[in-house]
Amino acid sequence: MEVIIKPDPEAVSKEAAALFQRQLALKSTSVLGLATGSTPLGFYRELVRRHRDGHVDFAHATTFNLDEYVGLSGDHPMSYRAFMREHLFAQVNMRPDHVHLPDGQTEDIPVHCEDYEDEIRHAGGIDLQLLGIGSDGHIGFNEPSSSLSSRTRLKTLTPRTIADNARFFGSEADVPRHVITMGVGTIMEARQVIVLAMGAGKATAVAAMVEGAITASVPASILQMHPKCALIIDEAAATQLQRADYYRWVYDHKPHWQRP
Ligand code: PGA
């Protein structure tokens, strides 16, 4: 895994946006895996800016989001569909019929999850997947103890994730208990993965992900097995990494042709 430590969240967002810009420049029909939450907000702002400046074109791209709350319609302000519309899709030239998120109001969750997997497969698989990491080490909404080969399915949020996300809903009681999320196995099939993390609250999870044992107790740790995964973090999220200086050294000596 490549670990890139940037001075601040803004630099993290810019590095990630540069990687997405390069991906779309190399392959205009890229299939992008997208994430929601606080972490990618600056990244989406930067992508929109680059789109407005004429550097990023979404006309031929396809997107699949990681997850959605069960019970919320796409019009609910806290739904991830609404989040994506506000922060990216309404501001760039994405074709609405190329946008995919799980449907939180589906009547048959198992069938819908299988269909979601089929749609990813039929689109040719995900070229570049963006991820955040939960303070408990989750990716998507694959909470600790999730099968490391799981597929898209229903998950129950941990009380910790409900507490973490209560800030979006106003109170813990209003946070849905269930979600539909791509599985860990689904995420691992993406050809390239970029994980973003910022702030001291993520430092423990980041260290466990990068330098701990591979375990379902820290679902993000399976990314140690991914052949092309970059973790881009700020200094605050890097404080518990044992080999932080080595990661900086590697980045400083990265060959020119490997840089976005
Ligand atoms: P956050 O969530 O970006 O809101 O911190 C990250 C995640 O849960 O994956």
Model pLDDT, residue 258: 86
Give the residue among 6, 137, 126, 114 at the shortest CA–CA distance from 65.
126
Average pLDDT over all residues of the chain:
97
Ligand 1: does its nearest atom lie under 6 Å from the Cβ of 187? no
Query: Residue 159 domain-assigned?
Result: yes
Q: Domain with 153 in it: what CATH number?
A: 3.40.50.1360
Domain count, the chain: 1
Q: Which of the listed residues 12, 34, 36, 38 should we mutate to test ligand 1's pocket, taking the one with most ligand atoms within 8 A of CB?
A: 38
Ligand 1: which residue has its CA nearest to atom 2?
A: 37
Q: Is residue 215 part of a domain?
A: no
Ligand 1 centre to CA of 96 (Å) is 25
pLDDT at 3 over 90: yes
Domain extent at residue 203: 2-208+222-255
Report whether residue 158 contacts ligand 1, using a CB cutoff of 6 Å: no
| Tens digit of each residue's pLDDT (9 = 90 or more) over 66-108 | 999 999 999 999 999 999 999 999 999 999 999 999 999 999 9
In a domain, 139, yes or no: yes
Region 229-248 average pLDDT = 98
Does 217 map to a domain?
A: no
Distance 204 CA to ligand 1 centre (A): 14
Contact 137, 203 (CB under 8 A): no
- Is residue 37 lining ligand 1, measured as CB closer than 6 Å? yes
Average pLDDT over residues 184-188: 98
Q: How confident is the model at residue 196 (pLDDT cuts 50, 70, 90)?
A: very high
Query: What is the rounded distance in angstroms from the CA atom of residue 86 to the CA atom of residue 78?
Result: 11
Query: Taking Cα atoms as reference points, which of 39, 71, 78 lies closest to residue 206?
Result: 39
Q: Is the CB of 39 under 6 A from ligand 1?
A: yes
**pLDDT at position 53 over 90:** yes
Ligand 1 and 186: CB distance under 6 A:
no
Number of H helices, E strands in the chain: 8, 10
Averaged pLDDT, 12-41: 98
pLDDT value of position 260: 78
Q: Which residue has the tokens 């679902």?
A: 219
The catalytic residue positions are 67, 136, 138, 143
Residue 117 lies in a domain: yes
Q: Is 133 in the pocket of ligand 1 (CB under 6 A)?
A: yes
Which of 17, 15, 23, 120 is closest to 66 using CA atoms?
Answer: 120
Q: Is residue 170 part of a domain?
A: yes
Percent share of the chain, pLDDT over 90: 98
Mutate to test the pocket of ligand 1, among 142, 164, 196, 218 (most ligand atoms within 8 A of CB): 164
Question: Residue 259's pLDDT is what?
Answer: 84
Query: Does residue 213 form part of some domain?
Result: no
Q: What is the mean pLDDT of residues 13-34?
A: 98
Q: What is the mean pLDDT of residues 167-194?
A: 96
To test the ligand 1 pocket, which listed residue (39, 84, 196, 234) has its Cβ within 8 A of the most ligand atoms? Answer: 39
Residue 34 main-chain phi, psi, to 5 deg: -120, 155
Query: Ligand 1 atom 7: the closest Cα is on which residue?
Result: 134
Has residue 6 got a pLDDT over 90?
Answer: yes
Mean pLDDT of 51-57: 98
pLDDT, mean of residues 35-39 = 96
With cut-offs at 50, 70 and 90, classify the pLDDT of residue 169: very high
Average pLDDT over residues 22-28: 98
**Ligand 1 centroid, distance to 257 Cα (angstroms):** 31
Cβ–ligand 1 contact at 9 (below 6 Å): no
Which pTM value belongs to this model?
0.96
Q: What are phi and psi of 85, to 5 degrees?
A: -60, -50
